Amino acid sequence: MSATLIQGEGLRLRPFRLADIADITAGCADPLTQRFLDGLPYPYTEADARWWVTEGAPAAFAGGGAAYAVADPETDRLLGTVGLSNPVAQRGQAEIGYWVAPWARGRGLATAATRALAGHAFATGIVRLELLTSVENVASQRVALAAGFHPEGVRRSASAVRGGGRRDLTVWVRLADDPPGPVPRPLPDLPGGRLTDGVVALRALGPDDVDAMYRLHTGAEVVASRVPPEPPTRETMEQHCRNAPNQWLVARSATMVILDAASGTVAGNCMLLLDQPANQGMIGYSLFPQWRGRGLATRTVRLLVGWGFRHVGLARLWAGTLPENVASQRVLERAGFRREGLLRGRLPGGAGVRADSTVFGLLPGDLAG
């Protein structure tokens, strides 16, 4: 691929220049850029930027890839970079990547640059583009979706981490004949970032919630309702909280923190597990002991039901409880769910035995009137 000038939405893609060295250095030395681009030198210096302009970027083009400066169309100042790497000619495939300078973030430039270079790549013979992101890099995953890339899975331990260890990478792919995007979101963001009825509030679970979630899910009563009934390790809970935003974006599950709306205190957590082929979702919830008996669980389920039917567009919601969990069954019934039956031996229980599950279901029409 030759270093052709490419016009995009509010930007232009052009070859790098020596005048870009200061901005490249500042952008690549930025902590957020360094956090997710493990291949960058650390510390990043002007000598590294000069090498990139004079040798690294030209070598990318010579090897069948591309390396462009993302520039302001009016001032020509560098705003970031976008490029193609790891080309596989016999497959018509390449990998697309980008970073945006701190002074240019929040303007949709990564999405616009990705769309522009993807369009150029497809026009010049590429048929498949891969975009790889850290599982924790939610902002980059949102760029992928907005630029028309579909999630394809996770490559375990696919990238070396600076300082030691390895990290998983999520794989996003756009084909030449795919619509330009954005990719529809089966699990949309919460309206305004939260659901609330004025008494209870729900927000998305994230990495900062590890301490509270570890305390919650190692409590004896919550452990008894887990499948299997075993407490998580601290490492498992850290991974769960780190991965929760990704699971939401790839439309597997929406996991939320339950808050007391007045104080903002964490009262528990809940989730909606999506079954796309059946257009249905399974819900679950847990509360700290001190927040039980106040009606918060029922309010939480009603908020999940409203979001699931109105915003996600589901045709059915269901939940399962252990037969002896009468309190949870009452919560579901107060929220409108109907008891549908007993599934014998559905769940792995303790000591190698199986546990039964009482199933409750809810259809949109059940709430009429």
For 320-351, what is each residue's pLDDT tens digit? 999 999 999 999 999 999 999 999 999 988 78
Instruction: Indicate the pLDDT class of residue 103, thresholds 50, 70 and 90.
Output: very high
Does residue 180 have a pLDDT over 90?
no
Does residue 31 have a pLDDT over 80?
yes
Please tell me the distance from the alpha carbon of residue 314 to that of residue 251, in angstroms, as a whole number.
Answer: 13
> Residue 25: which of 3, 45, 5 has the closest Cα?
45
Taking CA atoms, 362 is separated from 58, 59, 252, 301, 317, in Å, by 59, 59, 20, 11, 5
What pLDDT, on the 0 to 100 scale, is given for residue 15? 97
CATH number (3.40.630.30, 3.40.50.620, 3.50.50.60, 3.20.20.70) of 191-367 reads 3.40.630.30
Instruction: Indicate the pLDDT class of residue 7, thresholds 50, 70 and 90.
Output: very high
The model's pTM: 0.93
Domains 6-175 and 191-367 share a fold: yes
Does residue 369 have a pLDDT over 60?
no
> Residue 307: which of 261, 257, 332, 271 has the closest Cα?
271
What is the mean predicted confidence (pLDDT) over 204-211?
A: 98
What pLDDT, on the 0 to 100 scale, is given for residue 1? 67
What pLDDT, on the 0 to 100 scale, is given for residue 18? 98
pLDDT tens by residue, 278-312: 999 999 999 999 999 999 999 999 999 999 999 99
What pLDDT, on the 0 to 100 scale, is given for residue 366? 94
Superfamily of domain 6-175: Gcn5-related N-acetyltransferase (GNAT) (3.40.630.30)
Does residue 197 have a pLDDT over 90?
yes
Does residue 233 have a pLDDT over 70?
yes
What is the mean predicted confidence (pLDDT) over 240-269?
A: 98
Domain boundaries, given as residue ranges, for the chain: 6-175, 191-367
Please tell me the distance from the alpha carbon of residue 153 to that of residue 366, in angstroms, as a whole number.
Answer: 36
Instruction: Indicate the pLDDT class of residue 225, thresholds 50, 70 and 90.
Output: confident
What pLDDT, on the 0 to 100 scale, is given for residue 228? 85
Query: Residue 90, Cα to own-chain centre: how many angstroms?
Result: 31
